[in-house]
C-alpha cells in the first residue's frame, strides 16, 4: 500500500466525536452543573477533546474545566465511558471523570467563561434529571452510582449500563 493509498484509506474511515467532562460535587453530594449560552439546558463542565492537537480525554476534561469554570483540578478516576449514537451527527464517545468534592473556597472561586456559560448551580441527585434529561442525565446518575458503590469504571451505551 502506498502512502497515498493509506491516506485515502484513513480519510474514508468513520468519524467519532470525543467529549470529556468532570463530575464535581459539594460536601452535601450536590452536583455542579453549568448553563451554556449556545444551547438550551444544563450540562457538566467539559467539552470536546482536541484530539487533532494530541489531547487525551483526561487532558481535555482538565482543560475544559479550567476554561469554563476557572478551576484547574486534575481529574480523578474515570467513572464512565458512554457511546452515544445520535441522528444526523457522528457518534460520541463521552468520558466522565470524578472531579471530586469542592470545598467552600473552591466554589467561591468559580469564574465562568462568559463566552460559553450563563450560570452554574449545585443540584441534588433527585433534581438532576429535571435539568439533565435523556442520555446525559442517565450518564450522571450512573456515575453517581459508581461513586456510591465504589465500583470500577462503567461502560454505557446511550447512558445505559452495558451488561
pLDDT tens string 6-60:
888 878 777 899 999 999 999 999 999 999 999 899 999 999 999 889 999 999 9
CB 107 within 8 A of CB 26: yes
Q: Report d(CA 68, CA 99) in Å as an integer.
A: 14
Which grid coordinates are listed for 69?
A: 469554570
Cα separation values, 103 from 3, 13, 39, 63, Å: 53, 45, 29, 20
Class of domain 16-161: alpha beta
**pLDDT tens per residue, range 59-115:** 999 999 999 999 999 999 999 999 999 888 899 999 999 999 999 999 999 999 999
Q: Helix, strand, or coil here: 8?
A: helix
Which grid coordinates are listed for 88?
A: 444526523
Give the start-to-end residue ranges of the domains of the chain: 16-161
User: Pick from 103, 144, 104: which is nearest to 127 by CA?
Assistant: 144
pLDDT of residue 13: 77
**pLDDT tens per residue, range 103-151:** 999 999 999 999 999 999 999 999 999 999 899 999 999 999 999 999 9
Amino acid at each position: 500500500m502506498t502512502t497515498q493509498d493509506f491516506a485515502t484509506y484513513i480519510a474514508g474511515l468513520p468519524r467519532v466525536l470525543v467529549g470529556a467532562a468532570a463530575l464535581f460535587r459539594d460536601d452535601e453530594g450536590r452536583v455542579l452543573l453549568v448553563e451554556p449560552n449556545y444551547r438550551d439546558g444544563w450540562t457538566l463542565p467539559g467539552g470536546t477533546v482536541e484530539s487533532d492537537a494530541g489531547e487525551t480525554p483526561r487532558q481535555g476534561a482538565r482543560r475544559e474545566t479550567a476554561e469554563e469554570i476557572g478551576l484547574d483540578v486534575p481529574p480523578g478516576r474515570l467513572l464512565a465511558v458512554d457511546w452515544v449514537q445520535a441522528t444526523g451527527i457522528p457518534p460520541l464517545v463521552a468520558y466522565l471523570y470524578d472531579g471530586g468534592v469542592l470545598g467552600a473556597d473552591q466554589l467561591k472561586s468559580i469564574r465562568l467563561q462568559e463566552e460559553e456559560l450563563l450560570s452554574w448551580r449545585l443540584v441534588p441527585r433527585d433534581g438532576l434529571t429535571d435539568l439533565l434529561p435523556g442520555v446525559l442525565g442517565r450518564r450522571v446518575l450512573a456515575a453517581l452510582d459508581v461513586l456510591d458503590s465504589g465500583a470500577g469504571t462503567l461502560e454505557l451505551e446511550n447512558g445505559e449500563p452495558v451488561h
